[in-house]
Amino acid sequence: MHQWVVSPGKLNLFLYVTGRRSDGYHYLQTLFRLLDYGDNMKFFVTKNGCIRLFNTNNNIISNNNLVIQAAKLLRKFCFRSCQKKPGVDIILHKKLPIGSGLGGGSSNAATTLMILNQEWRCFLEKKVLMRLGLMLGADIPVFINGYSAFSEGIGEKLVSIFLPERWYLIIIPPIYINTTWVFDVYRSAFNYYSPYRSVEKLLNTPFSNDLEPIVKNMFPEIKKYFFYLSNYASARLTGTGACIFFEFYNRYLACQSQKYLPNWIKSIVVRGIYISPVHQILSKIKI
Ligand SMILES: C[C@@](CO)(OP(=O)(O)O)[C@H](O)COP(=O)(O)OP(=O)(O)OC[C@H]1O[C@@H](n2ccc(N)nc2=O)[C@H](O)[C@@H]1O
Ligand SMILES: Nc1ncnc2c1ncn2[C@@H]1O[C@H](COP(=O)(O)OP(=O)(O)O)[C@@H](O)[C@H]1O
């Protein structure tokens, strides 16, 4: 796969925490919207048996990078008993801010599993890849499933949902938020779970994010952003943050609103999509 693949970001259009599993993970009901904006990745299969990551624009290369973990997991699963193991050189050009709630790391891991499943001729079914992905992170299955979706469980129960075309103005505060911290505080300081509701009910209720008040409390800087943005329109946090987004009917309206933002606020305008660009590429390739 010598062409660039877009590893898309996501937004959580709503997110409700409905309980907690015995292993500490929380049950969520969330609406994932995939985005036409993401990181760029390239994959070069090699015969030297090495799994290597080259990062073009920041320093997140390390052995615990989700990209390396995903490649190693797939290889272990498919080539455990083979003497000669395939290798790969992966180039990653990050555009999605890290620890932002846009799901970049999870998306990169999902893209790696999907592309290498094909390039290494593993031919695992999607549901098997999703199970492997879930071993690395709760947000990975939605990217492997490849559609904007309503999700339950910890992220593994997915129902694809076709949503009308919308554009998003995403504000990027310069803050890194660790998902584990947010859930730790949620558990210890906020003894409340949302009631479990049907997807129909949730889609017809004003959307919100249960983690937003926690994140505002933990990060006064985020609270300041919300306070400032309240002059514009109603904004929501995606996932555990730090990004904040507004929804618009078209690109023009999103860009007009972006123009009113002061220079110190970093932002992007992106389109919500139904099918992941990775799936679109894979469906065009004949093996
Ligand atoms: C909550 C979401 C919403 O999309 O937040 P973002 O990270 O995207 O902001 C995600 O499900 C995050 O998914 P992901 O980032 O893959 O999380 P993981 O690596 O699996 O988990 C990191 C940590 O978050 C907590 N965690 C995560 C997901 C979940 N449903 N319950 C949890 O309690 C656990 O403490 C876990 O150890
Ligand atoms: N390829 C990757 N891209 C981004 N983050 C990664 C990657 N691999 C591992 N990580 C780690 O995953 C964590 C979550 O990053 P990210 O997916 O960007 O956040 P979020 O889920 O909030 O959008 C960070 O601690 C980061 O260091």
pLDDT, tens digit, 9 for 90 and up, residues 144-192: 999 999 999 999 999 999 999 999 999 999 999 999 999 999 988 877 8
Q: Where are the alpha helices (DSSP H) in the chain?
A: 66-79, 104-119, 126-136, 140-145, 179-189, 199-203, 212-218, 220-229, 251-259, 277-284
Tell me the torsion sign for CA atoms 190, 192, 196, 201.
Answer: negative
The domain 5-162+274-284: what is its CATH number? Answer: 3.30.230.10
24-38, 191-205, 207-221, 226-240: least confidently modelled range: 226-240
33-37, 79-83, 104-108: least confidently modelled range: 79-83
For ligand 2, atom 15: residue with the closest CA: 99
Tokens of 126: 């999607």
Ligand located closest to 107 CA: 2
Higher pLDDT, 45 or 188: 45
**pLDDT score for 97:** 95
The domain 167-273: what is its CATH number? Answer: 3.30.70.890
Mean pLDDT of 184-203: 91
Q: How far is the CA of 26 from the centre of ligand 1 (A)?
A: 8
7 lines ligand 2 (CB under 6 A): no
Whether the pLDDT of residue 1 is over 80: the answer is no
240 lines ligand 1 (CB under 6 A): yes
Average pLDDT in the chain: 94
CA 5 to chain centre: 15
ipTM of the complex: 0.97
5-162+274-284 and 167-273 have identical folds: no
**pLDDT score for 8:** 98
Mean pLDDT of 46-51: 94
For ligand 1, atom 37: residue with the closest CA: 180
How does residue 231 score in pLDDT terms, banded at 50, 70 and 90? confident
Is 85 part of the annotated catalytic residue set?
no
How does residue 61 score in pLDDT terms, banded at 50, 70 and 90? low
Q: How far is the CA of 103 from the centre of ligand 1 (A)?
A: 10
69 lines ligand 2 (CB under 6 A): no
Please state, for a pLDDT cut of 90, what percent of the chain lies above it: 87
Q: How far is the CA of 81 from the centre of ligand 2 (A)?
A: 31
Whether the pLDDT of residue 58 is over 70: the answer is no
How does residue 287 score in pLDDT terms, banded at 50, 70 and 90? very low
Interhelix angle 277-284/104-119, nearest 10 degrees: 10
133 lines ligand 2 (CB under 6 A): no
For ligand 1, atom 35: residue with the closest CA: 180
**Nearest 5°: phi and psi at 73?**
-65, -45
**pLDDT score for 136:** 98
Whether the pLDDT of residue 285 is over 70: the answer is no
Q: Given the CA of residue 64, which atom of ligand 2 is nearest to it?
A: 9
For ligand 1, atom 36: residue with the closest CA: 180
**pLDDT score for 250:** 97
Question: DSSP string of 48-76?
Answer: S--EEEEESSSS--STT-HHHHHHHHHHH
Ligand located closest to 178 CA: 2
48-62, 103-117, 186-200: least confidently modelled range: 48-62
Whether the pLDDT of residue 268 is over 80: the answer is yes
Domain boundaries, the chain: 5-162+274-284, 167-273
**Statement: the pTM of the whole predicted model exceeds 0.90:** yes
Q: How far is the CA of 17 from the centre of ligand 1 (A)?
A: 11
22-31, 69-78, 182-191, 251-260: least confidently modelled range: 182-191
How does residue 230 score in pLDDT terms, banded at 50, 70 and 90? confident
Tokens of 79: 């080539």
Please state, for a pLDDT cut of 70, what percent of the chain lies above it: 97
101 lines ligand 1 (CB under 6 A): yes
